[in-house]
Amino acid sequence: MSTKILIIGACGQIGTELTQKLRSIYGVENVIASDIRKLNVDVVNNGPFEVVNALDFNQIEHLVELYQIDEVYLMAALLSATAEKNPAFAWDLNMNSLFHVLNLAKAGKIKKIFWPSSIAVFGSTTPKENTPQYTIMEPSTVYGISKQAGERWCEYYHTIFGVDVRSVRYPGLISWSSPPGGGTTDYAVDIFHKALSDGTYDCFLSSETKMPMMYMDDAIQATINIMQAEADNIKIRSSYNLAAMSFTPAELAAEIRSQLPDFTITYTPDFRQKIANSWPASIDDHEARADWDWKHTYDLASMTKDMLAHLKGI
């Protein structure tokens, strides 16, 4: 019997590529994409798509029952920089959408949930280098607070109700296929577009702001790997640290310059600098590598080469 999957937030930065990858694995008809509006043409036109409000429990329950859904990937969220402009809505969306799917799983209507956390759960008091899995977590953003709370609820629903919920703490994600989505790490996406279109980029972070990053291909693979792993191998039910590479805007610019010698960069830090300063510089993810055999593929050089190759071809 085929696994039936519902992706909520399928038109977002991660959702678009995750939907396509899952459809290639499980079959187009078995992966139902959904979002609050029809945004991405490929996701909407290349398989089942439903308009759904992640805050509406009845709509989600209806889709779960209609398609006899086994697994839900809850990708709907308001990201860090955007959430700071609308804290109440960000909290509502990020928390209540999670409660909806957790409660459906508690009721036996969903077998498995993927819910993404983030390095935003950490704060300025967290050790910045090789941030461990278990450490001080005092997030200073609405996004980070909601993700930290979500981690606790995921663990609670697993421990008390046996809900099979799985999660990773994404670092900054870099993708050629979708535009920046309002996150603090999104400079590392925008810089490639501007390098090709303008030959220059004005960065909203300082040159030496080092943050953990990951190419989208690796993030998608990690997401699928943790969901396909045997339940007994998932030892952490809050959220796993996940890492691939760490770099500064200056290091990224230098790598781009190796491909585009005339590229220039300037720096005009804005309110996102304070957010970035509260986050780790590098992540220790040995638990994910040990428990479910996580491995990353892309480093700074190979990611830069692949990004530019794809964007030049668009």
Closest CA to 22 of 225, 181, 178, 171: 225
DSSP state of 28: G
Sign of CA dihedral 223, 225, 229, 232: negative
Q: Is-catalytic flag, 201?
A: no
User: Whose structure tokens read 């799985």?
Assistant: 166
- Using DSSP's 3-state secondary structure scheme, residue 129 falls into coil
Question: Of 143, 187, 201, 240, which residue is the catalytic one?
Answer: 143
Burial of 103 (0-12, 13-18, 19+ CB in 10 A): middle
Q: How far apart are CA 133 and CA 291, in angstroms?
A: 13
CB 98 within 8 A of CB 74: yes
Reported as half-sphere exposure (CB side, CA atoms, 13 A), residue 258 has a value of: 11
Question: Which residues are tagged catalytic?
Answer: 143
